[in-house]
Structure 1
Amino acid sequence: MLTQPDGLLKYLTDASSLRLPQGHFIDGEFRRSRSGRSMQSEDPGRGEAFADFARGDADDIADAVSSSRKGFAVWRRTPPADRGRVLNRTAELIRQNAERLAIAECLDSGKPIGEARGDVSGAARTFEYYAGACDKLEGQVFPLPSGYVGFSQHEPVGVTAHIIPWNFPISTAARGMAPALAAGCSVIAKPAEQTPFTALLLAELLAQAGLPAGVCNVVTGTGVEAGAPLVAHTGIDHVTFTGSVATGAHVMRACAENVTRSVMELGGKSPVVVLDDCDFDAAIANVTGAIFEHAGQICSAGSRLVIEAGIHDRFVETLAKKAAAISLGHGLRSPDMGPVNSAAQRDKILGFLDRARERGAEFLAGGLAATAAESGKGYFIEPTIVASRPQDDELVQEEIFGPVLTVQKADDADHALHLANCTRFGLVAGVFTRDFSRAHQLARDIDAGQVYINEYFAGGIEVPFGGNKQSGFGREKGLEGLKSYCKTKSIAARIG
């Protein structure tokens, strides 16, 4: 386990003791890119590079696919109980290496160290959960006429590609890789170029846990040079993608060329519906966390507050004060909120805010770029709340992916439902009310893949996750996520 004799802050100037890998993980070992090229990963809390990693391309992808096809031939024949033991050992190794993984995640993504530790813990739980599912994949017996027998069995889909986003690198890697491995598939992961390291470290831990060489490969690099050739490769049987609608559409077109299966999680513009009879303090705390955790860079962030008129004024006034009190700083310093992931992401968010000002939007809190007080560096955006905007406003309709909450004022619960469903997205939603019947009516009628009642982000790995409308299709997490990596074979026989 990693020791910290000098505390966390030593990694601000020297990340070498983390022993971060510099190569791809292919066929059970780290190796350089065939081209010999590398890239730098930037610490968004300082706006400075802190480590190098391999810059892969189609040649490296070809090596990974070849390795994965051989690995699949071995892994699919491995007894399910033995697969479960490997995943359980992986969960334990993640816990043993938790601090190293969390620090790497913090430096790579910018999120506060406490959030990174939570993500690592969740990754361990994910492997643990699917370890228990390996030997529970049971088929069905069909009620055929006398003289026939019919049954089904689940088979692994084959070589699976995983395009991992930069906002939750280890969490998203785990929620795709663990069920794929549990089902008997092999895995090729392509982490975002902004956050390459925890996927590589995870592959290393899987190998230490006994996963055969070739069953898990990781190729790092850009989306254009490594991601595109991966999803377009004829040796890929399934693609799991998490990212923007625009990029997801490109991935789907590539999958269509080879009729490759896919699961798409494409982001959201999720409403948090707060009714007059809510638990006021609990709703304030949850709305704050829903948008300002990881600086709002969460696909399921509660980025729209749909607030009933009776408590609107008091609620938004209280919320604005709470937002103004949020501390900003480098993730290793345990601030309330860390930076956004890159200069490009910061500038994209500021573009939304500048255009809103031009349209006359009222800012109740924040709205400007910032830097870390201790260093004057980093890519920060102030926690921002924008007063009630019309339904067709850009801040209501578009995913900003930053710490920006847009208010929508509702006349009553029926109007709140209409506003909740007013965008092209349908990932998640939150509902806050003491009226349990009304809560379930809203949960029934809101068009979203998941609805939280009286606690935003409620649930865990056991609960299926995925979107409707332009938030994508397919489900991850839970046993539904396991089914994504299985194909059903039906067998029928005449027996006399």
Structure 2
Amino acid sequence: MLTKPDSLLAYINDATGLRLPDGHFIDGGFRAPRSGRSMQSEDPGRGEAFADFARGNADDVAEAVENSRKAFALWRRTPPAERGRILARTAELIRRNSERLAITECLDSGKPISEARGDVSGAARTFEYYAGACDKLEGSTFPLPSDYVGYSQFEPVGVTAHIIPWNFPISTAARGMAPALAAGCTVVAKPAEQTPFTALLLAELLFEAGLPAGVCNVVTGTGIEVGAPLVSNTGIDHVTFTGSVTTGASVMRACAENVTRSVMELGGKSPVVVLDDCDFDGTVTNVAGAIFEHAGQICSAGSRLVIEAGIHDRFVEALGRKAKAISLGHGLRSPDMGPVNSAMQQEKIAGFLDRARERGAEFISGGKASSDPETGKGYFIEPTIVANRPAEDELVQEEIFGPVLTVQKADNYEHALQLANCTRFGLVAGVFTGNFTRAHQLARDIDAGQVYINEYFAGGIEVPFGGNKQSGFGREKGLEGLKSYCKVKSIAARIG
């Protein structure tokens, strides 16, 4: 259990109190990288490195995959109820170590400590949920003629690779690892090089909970040196990837070479459709949260406000006031909004804003890069709202992955639906209206993998999640997520 200092900010100057992992986690313990090389992880709130971690390569990947293949023979035969007990103990250990995990996540990713604590709590709930599902994965029987019997059973797909993004390191690791392990698969995870630590800590807690050595391995390093060898390794039976469309396409090409199964979650440009009859104040709060949580660095962020003309002016004015009141700061000081993840990300977002300004865009709020007002450090972007833009505008069509909300004014319901579907993405959508008929019509007609009605980010681990169109394919979370790590075997026998 981590002992808190007098001030959480003490960790900014001394991360050693967190007991951060040293090395890859392979075969039940931490291993030095074969090359002996290391990398630095930055604290985005200061724009400075705070810890070193192992820089892996293809040799480390090969060792991890070999260990997972050997461990698979044991783990797949472990009774489902026992797998469930191990995952349940993991959930308890996550809760017992919650503050250590949250502070690590905050320093590594930059998000406010309150959001990091929520992510850690969600990771514990994820393991708890799939612990309960281990012994409930049932097959079917088939209605064959009376002298035949037919049935199906689920089998674990094998060794699974998990490419974890930097925006939700522990959440995304948990939502992939937990169902894979519940199904009887083994895991080789590669966290983003910007946020390596909580995946390593999670693997250590799994082992402490009783997971056999080799069942869960974590290799850290760059996408080129670790990610690419991992997804192309012939010992991998399934790849779960969360990231950009461009990188996802490269991963799919590597999977195709070995005919490897995959689940792809590739981001979005999600609309929040607000109709004239919405609960005004509650909707303003939801729209702000949909884009400014974790500085907009969420694949499912509500980055487009599609709003009916009748309340457009009043709504945008209220939303602008809320955006201007948002406090910025280092995540450990519990600001309303923390930094973006890196200097590269800050520069990318600022480029979108600069080009929009050159095109004559009107900024309701924000629009510039910034820094921590207390220290003058870190990678920050002001909470930004851009006034009505045409459907073909770059701010409407491209995923910015920052605290930037683009407004699209709709003439009526039909126009709102048209605007909601005007991009190549289809991850999620939000709908805010007091008319439930209209709400469910929009939910039916918007092309997205998940639709929130009257509360953005509604649901939890029980609700399947994934995208349509260029937002990807396959589903995580819920029982659908468990089935992603299974293959179905059908058996038919003549008995008469």
Once the two structures are TM-superposed, the CA of residue 81 in structure 1 deviates from its matched residue by 0.1
Deviations 1:281-300 (A, max 9, x none): 01000000000000000000
- For 2:405 and 2:370, the matched residues in 1 are separated by 17
Q: What does 1:35-50 align with in structure 2 at a 5 Å threshold?
A: 35-50=35-50
- For 1:164 and 1:438, the matched residues in 2 are separated by 37
- For 1:369 and 1:385, the matched residues in 2 are separated by 14
Once the two structures are TM-superposed, the CA of residue 5 in structure 1 deviates from its matched residue by 3.1
Once the two structures are TM-superposed, the CA of residue 209 in structure 1 deviates from its matched residue by 0.1
- For 2:60 and 2:153, the matched residues in 1 are separated by 34
The equivalent of 1:63 in structure 2 is 63
Residue 492 of structure 2 aligns to a residue in which SS?
A: strand
Find out whether 1:295 has 2:316 as its counterpart: no
The equivalent of 1:388 in structure 2 is 388
The equivalent of 1:491 in structure 2 is 491
- For 2:232 and 2:490, the matched residues in 1 are separated by 29
The equivalent of 2:171 in structure 1 is 171
What's the C-alpha RMSD, in Å, of the aligned pairs?
0.4
Find out whether 1:29 has 2:29 as its counterpart: yes
Q: Which amino acid aligns with 1:106?
A: C
Residue 16 of structure 1 aligns to a residue in which SS?
A: helix
Residue 8 of structure 1 aligns to a residue in which SS?
A: coil
Q: Which runs of 5+ in 2 are unaligned?
A: none
Q: Which runs of 5+ in 1 are unaligned?
A: none
Q: Which amino acid aligns with 2:490?
A: S
- For 1:413 and 1:299, the matched residues in 2 are separated by 26
- For 1:432 and 1:245, the matched residues in 2 are separated by 28
The equivalent of 2:379 in structure 1 is 379
Q: What does 1:141-152 align with in structure 2 at a 5 Å threshold?
A: 141-152=141-152
Residue 20 of structure 2 aligns to a residue in which SS?
A: coil
- For 1:45 and 1:437, the matched residues in 2 are separated by 45
Q: What does 1:199-218 align with in structure 2 at a 5 Å threshold?
A: 199-218=199-218
- For 2:22 and 2:360, the matched residues in 1 are separated by 48
The equivalent of 2:220 in structure 1 is 220
The equivalent of 1:350 in structure 2 is 350
- For 2:207 and 2:228, the matched residues in 1 are separated by 26
The equivalent of 1:335 in structure 2 is 335
Once the two structures are TM-superposed, the CA of residue 193 in structure 1 deviates from its matched residue by 0.1
- For 2:462 and 2:367, the matched residues in 1 are separated by 37
- For 1:307 and 1:22, the matched residues in 2 are separated by 50
- For 2:71 and 2:409, the matched residues in 1 are separated by 55
The equivalent of 1:95 in structure 2 is 95
- For 2:373 and 2:320, the matched residues in 1 are separated by 21
Find out whether 1:430 has 2:418 as its counterpart: no
The equivalent of 1:366 in structure 2 is 366
The equivalent of 2:398 in structure 1 is 398
Once the two structures are TM-superposed, the CA of residue 230 in structure 1 deviates from its matched residue by 0.1
The equivalent of 1:191 in structure 2 is 191
- For 2:376 and 2:360, the matched residues in 1 are separated by 30
Residue 214 of structure 1 aligns to a residue in which SS?
A: coil
Residue 72 of structure 1 aligns to a residue in which SS?
A: helix
Deviations 1:378-437 (A, max 9, x none): 000000000000000000000000000000000011100000000000000000000011
Once the two structures are TM-superposed, the CA of residue 147 in structure 1 deviates from its matched residue by 1.0
Q: Which amino acid aligns with 1:476?
A: E
Once the two structures are TM-superposed, the CA of residue 71 in structure 1 deviates from its matched residue by 1.0
The alignment of Structure 1 onto Structure 2 pairs a total of residues equal to: 496
Q: Which moved more, 1:371-380 or 1:1-10?
A: 1-10
Q: Which amino acid aligns with 1:173?
A: A
Residue 302 of structure 2 aligns to a residue in which SS?
A: coil
Residue 323 of structure 2 aligns to a residue in which SS?
A: helix
Deviations 1:203-244 (A, max 9, x none): 000000000000000000000000000000000000000000
TM-score w.r.t. length of structure 1: 1.00
- For 2:291 and 2:5, the matched residues in 1 are separated by 35
The equivalent of 2:312 in structure 1 is 312
Q: Which amino acid aligns with 2:123?
A: A
- For 1:71 and 1:119, the matched residues in 2 are separated by 29
- For 2:492 and 2:7, the matched residues in 1 are separated by 63
- For 1:470 and 1:404, the matched residues in 2 are separated by 21
The equivalent of 2:244 in structure 1 is 244
Residue 282 of structure 1 aligns to a residue in which SS?
A: helix
Residue 41 of structure 1 aligns to a residue in which SS?
A: strand
Q: Which amino acid aligns with 2:77?
A: R
- For 1:325 and 1:369, the matched residues in 2 are separated by 17
Once the two structures are TM-superposed, the CA of residue 482 in structure 1 deviates from its matched residue by 0.2
Q: What does 1:462-473 align with in structure 2 at a 5 Å threshold?
A: 462-473=462-473
- For 2:364 and 2:137, the matched residues in 1 are separated by 52
Once the two structures are TM-superposed, the CA of residue 6 in structure 1 deviates from its matched residue by 2.0
Residue 284 of structure 2 aligns to a residue in which SS?
A: helix
Structure 1: which 4+ aligned runs deviate by more than 6 Å?
A: none
- For 1:22 and 1:165, the matched residues in 2 are separated by 20
Deviations 1:172-215 (A, max 9, x none): 00000000000000000000000000000000000000000000
Q: Which amino acid aligns with 1:120?
A: V
Residue 40 of structure 2 aligns to a residue in which SS?
A: strand
- For 2:327 and 2:368, the matched residues in 1 are separated by 14
TM-score w.r.t. length of structure 2: 1.00
Q: Which amino acid aligns with 1:346?
A: Q
Once the two structures are TM-superposed, the CA of residue 7 in structure 1 deviates from its matched residue by 2.1
